[in-house]
Amino acid sequence: MTPIAQARLLVADDNPDNREVLIRRLRRLGYTSIESAVDGQEALEMNAAAPFDLILLDVMMPRKNGIQVLETLNAEKRLETTPVIMISAATELDTVVRCLELGAEDYLPKPFNPALLKARLGAVLEKYRLRAELRRHLARMETELAEAREQQLSMVPTEFPAIGGATPVEVHGAMRPAREVGGDFYDAFEIVPGTLCIAVGDVSGKGMPAALFMARARSLLRATALLMAGHRGMAPMPDEVARAMNDELCKNNPFCNFLTLFMGFLDTASGELRYVNAGHVRPYVLPRGGAPYELVSPPDVPLGFEPEAVFRTGVLTLGPGDALVAISDGVHDMEREDGTIFGRPATLDCLAGAVDRGAAALTNHLMDAVFAFGGGAAQADDVTILAVRRA
């Protein structure tokens, strides 16, 4: 309960005898910080200047009665932080009911019963103490989640310079978590000069547990690929990286999280893309001047799902002007309020309308189409898109 010595109370009653009786009884109960108001208007002015922990409010008063005071406090949203207990005579109970409907917490009948007075004040103050604590806790959580979202978004690249060479490569990605933090990620980085790693991953589950597992997986991807390349002096095979990541993600995984992952190593000079699909949604290939299609390959199991799982490397060649778009399943699963989903056909149609655009235009075009389809419906899953195009 709010410490008795610190609780600030306001007694608002136009009858001086009633005020004096109530103030004396409050002091006997241990409340020491008590002020009084002679009518509703004065009570409002005093509370606006320095909000009270509790107002004991008479129903019938000049200038502003109890109903008018409550209407004002309610309109100003002050009842969220300052509770009100009505003071009433037996003949005013109908008005008291109206006051309770407007937001008053309780009422005290006249004449005042000491035991009832103590119980009702204690209950109201304790409830508001708990509400204030909950508001502080929620505000702290919102701040921490906002900071966590910024930290997570800072983990994925936001600048995508064209990678030079005989045939430059353009890369662009975007991600929109469904909650404050999410389980998707994308990445694009050079493993060795002339070999670009592109990846899109999707962690099982939602919220903070998925976000922490995502951070672990994304860091593991970079560390594994770069360490292997540094040790050998050449890019490893994608299935080797996937196997090493899987071994690590299966360890210390008490909540049985797993990661679907599309990962490819692109030789920027030849256009050869070696890739592995660990249970992930199929990416789309956009041939220059042709119709987009899904990159069909037998999917392997997700990472962190099965110890000692076997992964296979597939090969695709991207010619000059060809593009590849990797997505998370949040693209296909974007849902309208009527329950219809965006799906694969709409994804293919959208990409067909942007088949010759640059990587950034491709990503933005598909992202805009997905969210335009969803309209105002709540986003159920993270949406991630990564596009790479050879010049």
Q: Cβ(26)–Cβ(34) under 8 Å? A: yes
* Token pair for 244: 């090493």
- DSSP letter at 341 equals B
Model confidence pLDDT, tens digit, residues 156-207: 777 876 676 656 899 999 998 887 677 899 999 999 999 999 999 999 877 7
Q: Tell me the domains of the chain and their CATH numbers.
A: 8-146 (3.40.50.2300), 155-390 (3.60.40.10)
**Which pLDDT does position 165 carry in this prediction?**
63
pLDDT for the residue numbered 1: 44
Q: CA–CA separation, 376 vs 358, rounded Å?
A: 28
DSSP for 170-201, written as a single string: EEEEEEE-SSSS-SEEEEEEEEETTEEEEEEE
Phi, psi of 276 (to 5 degrees): -135, 140
Q: Would you give the distance in Å from CA 113 to the centre of its chain?
A: 49
Q: Is the pTM of this model over 0.85?
A: no
Phi, psi at 83, each rounded to 5°: -75, 155
Phi, psi dihedrals of residue 186, rounded to the nearest 5°: -135, 160
The rounded distance, in Å, linking the Cα atoms of 57 and 99 is 10
Q: What is the pLDDT of residue 289?
A: 86
Residue 365 tokens, joined: 């075009």
Mean predicted lDDT score pLDDT of the chain: 89
Query: The tokens of 354 are what?
Result: 């942007």
pLDDT single digits (tens) 95-135: 878 888 889 999 888 888 888 888 988 888 888 888 888 88
